Amino acid sequence: MKKIEHIGIAVKDLETSNELFASLFGKKHYKIEAVESEGVMTSFFKAGPNKIELLQATNDDSPIAKFIEKKGEGIHHIAFAVSNIEKEIKRLKSEGFRMIHDQPKKGADNKLIAFLHPKATNGVLIELCQEIKD
């Protein structure tokens, strides 16, 4: 794993939180993107070299809806950049980690992503992401 790519924060209302984080960082989000497969609407902020992803559920079955129901709003996941996501999934599985996604899928912001099961990582939801090169 190379570095923290972004931190994901679960929010109830993206519009309200976009304003909040714009005030916090002193600049607006640079992107809003829906990820249909995860049932989320996302927005992205940059703070210096760091990236924050806000996630709002778009339906009741969304993992974000379930997370907020259980834990409330707050830090949802930490994403790490990897150069070869398939290799990294294989390596982690061979180390005994449980994956939520055994195969990479298309995520927001031009990434292939896969989540590890938080039960295997001290309750921290970890996302792997690899930049899609076009």
Find the binder of Zn ion among 68, 79, 85, 112 (CB under 5 A): 79
Pairing of strands 31-35, 74-81: unpaired
Look at residue 73 and give its three-state secondary structure: coil
Q: How far is the CB of 43 from Zn ion (least distance, A)?
A: 12
Backbone phi and psi for residue 23, each to the nearest 5 degrees, phi listed first: -65, -40
Asked whether position 82 contacts Zn ion by CB under 5 A, the answer is: no
Considering beta carbons, is residue 8 or 39 the nearer one to Zn ion? 8
Find the binder of Zn ion among 43, 45, 53, 82 (CB under 5 A): 53
Asked if 74 contacts 125 with a C-beta cutoff of 8 angstroms, the reply is: no
Point out which residues bind Zn ion (CB under 5 A): 8, 53, 79, 127
